[in-house]
Amino acid sequence: MSLIQSAKMNGHDPCAYLKDVLTRLPTHPNNRIEELLPHCWQPDAAA
């Protein structure tokens, strides 16, 4: 629930945010995981 609320507070569509993050997560580098947090997240330009 807090990820959804954080996404809303940062002006993101929560559904789009979660879909994108869950799609990226398996291949995203562990040392760059903060890029997937709502306050840093940018939608994938290819999507």
* Residue matched to tokens 């954080």: 6
* Parent domain of 16: 2-36
**Does residue 17 lie within any of the structural domains?**
yes
Q: Beta-carbon neighbour count of residue 8 at 10 Å?
A: 13
Indicate if the pLDDT at residue 43 is higher than 60.
yes
**Does residue 21 lie within any of the structural domains?**
yes
pTM: 0.84
Report which residue type is found at 8.
Answer: K
**Does residue 12 lie within any of the structural domains?**
yes
Whole-angstrom distance, CA of residue 11 vs CA of residue 30:
25
Whole-angstrom distance, CA of residue 47 vs CA of residue 41:
14
> Could you give the number of structural domains in the chain?
1
**Does residue 23 lie within any of the structural domains?**
yes
**Does residue 15 lie within any of the structural domains?**
yes
pLDDT tens for 5-40 read 999 999 999 999 999 999 999 999 999 999 999 999
**Does residue 45 lie within any of the structural domains?**
no
**Does residue 43 lie within any of the structural domains?**
no
